[in-house]
């Protein structure tokens, strides 16, 4: 299985799958995407990841793909290149194409996406400010980013274990991968894939209280992906709480297959 982390995010997110993967005899791989050349052409970027995935597969093998948050759109772009080599796709708290729906006003990060779409210089300056916070005051960066969280994410944000998990991820993202982070966000706001090609068996996992990726995004993806088999609506869950709740269920489901 290949996991595509969110934005902000890092390969350390994959730790969520460690215990359930090992207990089910599975292996999950996650590329540290933001350390790849942040100035790379988008198509070459997707092609490079697809080639790395193919290199891991023996002849006739397939791969299962898991995409979280904005990482879901990268997962889908790479899956399009892999074609029939992708058996299952699991989208968790997935961000749908902004161009195809009226979601912006419901999103906690709407300001960031508008900057990335229309004001690249200001978006760059904002990211550099976040990078400075990651260097000097990572706890403050965490508090700023999670100030608007709701549902079970609000409960999560108050737990020391979650802070110990997420703060190093934010530090890694902005300190070492800010250019890659900007590439993914700027690519996401321009993403306009109709997804008609996606016939792999696809499951959407989404929290009903998610204000980072509103639930309407999951409903949209469910309606446009031909291979979509189920929309798992997790009541009261938000963004990261959905990931934590879905991870063991995804591993168990894939193990059974």
52-88 pLDDT tens trace: 999 999 999 999 999 999 999 999 999 999 999 999 9
* Cα angle 4, 245, 171; round to 5: 50
122-159 pLDDT tens trace: 999 999 999 999 999 999 999 999 999 999 999 999 99
Residue 200: CATH number of its domain: 3.40.50.1820
**How many CB atoms are closer than 10 A to CB 125?**
12
- List average pLDDT for each run of 10 residues in the chain, which is 257 residues long: 96 95 94 81 91 93 97 97 97 96 91 96 97 97 95 96 97 94 96 95 97 96 96 97 97 92
- CA distances, 60 to each of 25, 47, 120, 139, 237 (Å): 20, 20, 43, 46, 38
Q: What is the pLDDT of residue 36?
A: 83
In which domain, by residue range, is 195 found? 2-256
Number of domains in the chain: 1
Dist. CA 213–CA 66, nearest whole Å: 16
- Tell whether pTM > 0.75: yes
- CA distances, 45 to each of 40, 49, 63, 120 (Å): 6, 7, 19, 20
């Amino acid at each position: 299985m290949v996991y595509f982390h969110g934005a902000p995010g890092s390969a350390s997110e994959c730790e969520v799958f460690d215990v359930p993967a090992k207990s089910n005899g599975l292996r999950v791989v996650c590329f540290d995407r933001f350390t790849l050349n942040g100035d790379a052409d988008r198509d070459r970027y997707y092609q490079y990841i697809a080639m790395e995935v193919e290199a891991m597969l023996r002849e006739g093998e397939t791969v299962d793909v898991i995409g979280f948050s904005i990482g879901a759109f990268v997962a889908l772009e790479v899956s399009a290149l892999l074609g029939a080599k992708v058996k299952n796709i699991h989208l968790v708290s997935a961000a749908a194409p902004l161009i195809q729906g009226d979601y912006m006003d419901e999103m906690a990060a709407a300001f960031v996406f508008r900057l990335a779409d229309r004001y690249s210089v200001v978006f760059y300056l904002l990211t550099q400010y976040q990078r400075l916070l990651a260097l000097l005051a990572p706890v403050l960066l965490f508090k700023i980013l999670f100030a608007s969280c709701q549902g079970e994410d609000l409960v999560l944000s108050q737990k020391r274990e979650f802070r110990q998990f997420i703060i190093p991820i934010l530090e890694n993202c902005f300190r070492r991968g800010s250019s890659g982070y900007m590439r993914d966000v700027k690519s996401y706001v321009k993403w306009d894939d109709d997804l008609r090609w996606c016939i792999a068996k696809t499951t959407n996992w989404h929290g009903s209280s998610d204000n980072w990726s509103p639930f309407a995004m999951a409903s949209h993806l469910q309606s446009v992906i031909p291979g979509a088999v189920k929309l798992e609506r997790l009541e009261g869950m938000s963004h990261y709480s959905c990931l934590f709740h879905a991870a063991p269920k995804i591993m168990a489901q894939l193990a059974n297959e």
